[in-house]
Homo-oligomer: A and B are copies of this chain.
Amino acid sequence: MTKMTRKIRMGMVGGGDGAFIGDVHRMAARLDGKVELVCGAFSSNASRSATFGRSLGLEETRCYPDFNTMFTIEAALPSESRMEFVAIVTPNHLHFPIAKDALESGFHVLSDKPATLTLNEALSLKSIIENTGKRYGLTHTYLGYPMIKQAQALVKQGRLGKITKVLAEYQQGWLADKGAETGKQASWRLDPSRAGVSCCMGDIGVHAANLMENVSGLKVTQLCSDLATTVEGRQLDDDGTVLLRFDNGARGTLLASQVATGEENNLTLRVYGEKASLSWQQQEPNSLWLKFNDQPAQCFRTGVGQLDESAQRFTRTPAGHPEGYLEAFANIYSQFAEALLGDTPMSSPGIDDAIRGMAFIENAVAASRSNQKWHPFIISQSPLHNEENI
């Protein structure tokens, strides 16, 4: 008789009532049936946490008032029932302390991005991960799209030739209105003590930077940054442009904005090589264009048999049945769950993406404050002055 397939047991910190990303994590975790939510500390208010956990169908005893309590109690449970990993879906400032505590309590971690509040925290986190031997995953959602896998495959196959240029944009409009600031989503993102040194780059620019590196296979080595606060009275950036140099000499431009009125979640990626170029848009994620100077452009589509195996296995439906954001997110969860279940190596994204992401944010902020155009991309320590490096 086949062994019953078991689900990985997940706990969650954050993501209570009204949180956008917590619900997304839970849907992503559920979609493929590999993960089961068994406990949570959903709110810093114990009663709210319990109420919310119960509404999700959890046992009352596993709705915790805070993450320390959760880790302590869960660690003492029998191994067949206790939580195996924690999903961290709080505002940024709590990512590091929660991850640290979880890892040191013996739990794997799947964290929302950005990984930490500071680059230094991310560097510390790497040591903790190495010391504890636990797994660490980062939900860089957009890496989960099948067409991003296909793009990676086309680059690796050499279809583009030497890459010369990488362009990414992430345009949103929701913070164009001064009034939007009071909403739950906006308030912590614009607060340096909870969001870190950047709003726009920390929240969305880091996704674009992550895609640029992960799809092109290149690493940023230098940058020129121009961040801005468009709406008066804000302490953090809500828009910015960052010019990049990659390790093979290619150049890049990253545009990100939260004040681009009328834009929804317009993340696009273009990779230009000597032989061909790739173009992808997150809002219509099931098409990937491969363009040439001397032959008709080709349009790859999610679910069609022509895809590379590395992309095909992340699709769930035949071509023409669109898969979206939640499916991409679920791919991140499934990869993580499979690694835990099979005790196999973690696939990206993980702590190295975490460190490069935090480095991107801090380097972009530091370079933006200077009237020197180009700056080296520093990753071994914070490029910010001490007083800014909260």
Task: Pick from A27-35, A67-75, A112-120 the stretch touching chain B.
Answer: A27-35
The answer, yes or no, to whether A277 is at the interface (CB within 8 Å) is: yes
Question: A2 near B276 (CB under 8 angstroms)?
Answer: no
Give complex CA distance A54, B318 in Å.
25
B residues less than 8 Å from A312 (CB atoms) = none
* Residues of A in contact, count (CB < 8 Å): 99
Give complex CA distance A228, B165 in Å.
11
Residue in B167, B286, B305, B373 whose beta carbon sits within 8 Å of that of A370 in the complex: B373
Residue in B296, B320, B371 whose beta carbon sits within 8 Å of that of A373 in the complex: B371
The answer, yes or no, to whether A176 is at the interface (CB within 8 Å) is: yes
Interface residues of A in 268-310 (CB under 8 A from B): 270, 272-277, 279, 282-286, 290-301, 303-306
The answer, yes or no, to whether A260 is at the interface (CB within 8 Å) is: yes
The answer, yes or no, to whether A259 is at the interface (CB within 8 Å) is: yes
Question: B55 near A5 (CB under 8 angstroms)?
Answer: yes
Question: B226 near A262 (CB under 8 angstroms)?
Answer: no
Question: B239 near A241 (CB under 8 angstroms)?
Answer: no
* Chain B nearest CB, measured from A299 CB (Å): 5
Q: Which residue of B lies closest to A265 (CB)?
A: B320
B residues less than 8 Å from A30 (CB atoms) = 30-33
Q: Which residue of B lies closest to A275 (CB)?
A: B261
Question: B6 near A293 (CB under 8 angstroms)?
Answer: no
Question: B327 near A326 (CB under 8 angstroms)?
Answer: yes
Residue in B165, B230, B260, B282 whose beta carbon sits within 8 Å of that of A259 in the complex: B165
Q: 1/0 per residue A19-44: CB within 8 Å of B?
A: 01001101100111100000000000
The answer, yes or no, to whether A322 is at the interface (CB within 8 Å) is: yes
Give complex CA distance A298, B2 in Å.
45
Give complex CA distance A355, B361 in Å.
39
Question: B24 near A317 (CB under 8 angstroms)?
Answer: yes
Residue in B6, B24, B285, B297 whose beta carbon sits within 8 Å of that of A301 in the complex: B297
Question: B293 near A177 (CB under 8 angstroms)?
Answer: yes
Question: B251 near A226 (CB under 8 angstroms)?
Answer: yes
Give complex CA distance A56, B305 in Å.
25
B residues less than 8 Å from A174 (CB atoms) = 293, 318
The answer, yes or no, to whether A321 is at the interface (CB within 8 Å) is: yes
Residue in B32, B266, B304 whose beta carbon sits within 8 Å of that of A27 in the complex: B32
The answer, yes or no, to whether A7 is at the interface (CB within 8 Å) is: yes
The answer, yes or no, to whether A257 is at the interface (CB within 8 Å) is: yes
Q: 1/0 per residue A238-251: CB within 8 Å of B?
A: 01010100000001
Nearest 6 A-B pairs (CB), nearest first? A262-B291, A264-B320, A265-B320, A322-B324, A321-B325, A296-B298
